Amino acid sequence: MFTIGCDPELICHRNGRFVPASDYFKANSSFGLDGCEVTAEIRPGYSESPVDLTAKIFQILEYGHEKAPDLEFYAGHYVNDYAIGGHTHFSVSPASEVISALDVVLGSLSDCIDPRDQRLKRERTGYGKRGAYRTKGYGFEYRTPGSFLLCPSVTLVHLTLAKLAVVGVKEDGLNFVELKKRQRSVYFLKNLKHFLHTIPDDCREGLKELDILLNKKLDWNQDILPNWGFERAA
């Protein structure tokens, strides 16, 4: 089995106003900085399991919150005029059918839950285009998604679908482009579990939560910390 990892970004606020992440965090740490230094970047490591990777993200966020308890963090695609991404890592080679599967599956999730205005703004900056990836020593980094750290559920579902897209191609030989065709993204995702022959145990929770998530209206203009169970500093 392959591993998944990620390095999603966050915008920092203090008392409701933007502050550069470089005032609080060091570039190379796992609660670190993106190349542009004003954006924070979470580097939780890697795991075969989307549940475990989400739990690792929790631990890194907890450290960041302890280190800078007066900060608020924002996820999404485009916050305070900065494009923020949710690059997702895979320890497999970037075959074209794998990249297409990620475009279809994670693209459908984004259609359903991501803030459309933010996504458009990010795309206009040249980031977040479909099919964007970089080959890495461990495999590849898929660069299309926005930052999915809004809450543990969105994170878990994103990572679960990322894994299932690759499993669907590698294990089940599925062609997700054909499967989706002209279906609306929400129906495609609701039917996804029926297309998959191989559903690893560590993907079952995320799939269950996907069904509930698709029926929720999400507010991306909020500090993510309370969603992860962290109390705001008094």
Partner 1 sequence: MKMSCSNCNETLSEDEVRWAFDEPYCDECFDHRYTHCTNCDSVISNDYARYNRNDEAYCDECFCEEDDPDCPDNPDVDEVDREHIINLSRNWLKGEIETKRPIYINNKDYLLKSIREKVGLVEDPIYVFGLKDKDEHLISASPNLIEDIQEIIPFYLPCVKVLEGYGINRLGISHSLRKSNLKEVVDLIKALTSIKVPA
Q: Which residues bind partner 1 (CB under 8 A)?
A: 7, 25-32, 35, 43-47, 51-52, 54-56, 58-60, 63, 67, 136-137, 151-153, 156, 205, 209, 212-213, 216, 226-229
Amino acid at 231: E
- In angstroms, the Cα distances linking 200 to 3, 48, 163, 172 are 13, 10, 9, 12
Closer CB to partner 1, residue 59 or residue 175?
59
Q: How far is the CB of 178 from partner 1 (least distance, A)?
A: 31
Q: How far is the CB of 173 from partner 1 (least distance, A)?
A: 30
Name the token pair of 85: 């991404």
Closer CB to partner 1, residue 156 or residue 179?
156
Q: Give the single-character DSSP code of 231.
A: P
Q: How far is the CB of 35 from partner 1 (least distance, A)?
A: 7
Closer CB to partner 1, residue 136 or residue 190?
136
Residue 149's nearest CA partner among 66, 218, 216, 70 is 218
Closer CB to partner 1, residue 40 or residue 169?
40
> Which runs of consecutive H residues, i.e. helices, occur in the chain?
50-67, 96-113, 116-124, 152-170, 176-180, 185-195, 204-213
Closer CB to partner 1, residue 111 or residue 209?
209
Instruction: Determine how many CB atoms are found less than 10 A away from the CB of residue 19.
Output: 18
Q: How far is the CB of 63 from partner 1 (least distance, A)?
A: 5
Q: How far is the CB of 120 from partner 1 (least distance, A)?
A: 27
Instruction: Determine how many CB atoms are found less than 10 A away from the CB of residue 191.
Output: 13
Contact 223, 72 (CB under 8 A): yes
